[in-house]
Amino acid sequence: MPKENQKTNKDGQGRTRIWSFIAYPDSVPADWEQILTEQFNLKWARSPLHDSDINADETQKKATLAYSFSV
């Protein structure tokens, strides 16, 4: 139940903020999704690995994952 002066959404629940970010798989710890879940208690969603983009000079761009979570 929201606090007395807290704004609510259309369902009467407290508002949330949705955050999105890009991660490079080779730049994060192997267990970092587990850390998001267990240590920070976040509910999150991940896109499939995005590894098909090509730079203007015909070299392959770094693979990325897109994440979203709400707080």
Stated pTM of the model: 0.65
pLDDT attached to residue 4: 57
Euclidean distance between CA atoms 11 and 13, whole angstroms: 5
Using pLDDT thresholds of 50, 70 and 90, give the confidence band for residue 16: confident
pLDDT attached to residue 70: 84
Q: Which CATH class is domain 18-70?
A: alpha beta
pLDDT attached to residue 58: 95
Query: So where are the chain's domains?
Result: 18-70
Question: In 3-state terms, what secondary structure has residue 54?
Answer: strand
Using pLDDT thresholds of 50, 70 and 90, give the confidence band for residue 12: low
65, 61, 60: which is closest to 49 by C-alpha? 65
pLDDT attached to residue 9: 60
Cβ atoms of residues 62 and 22 within 8 Å: no
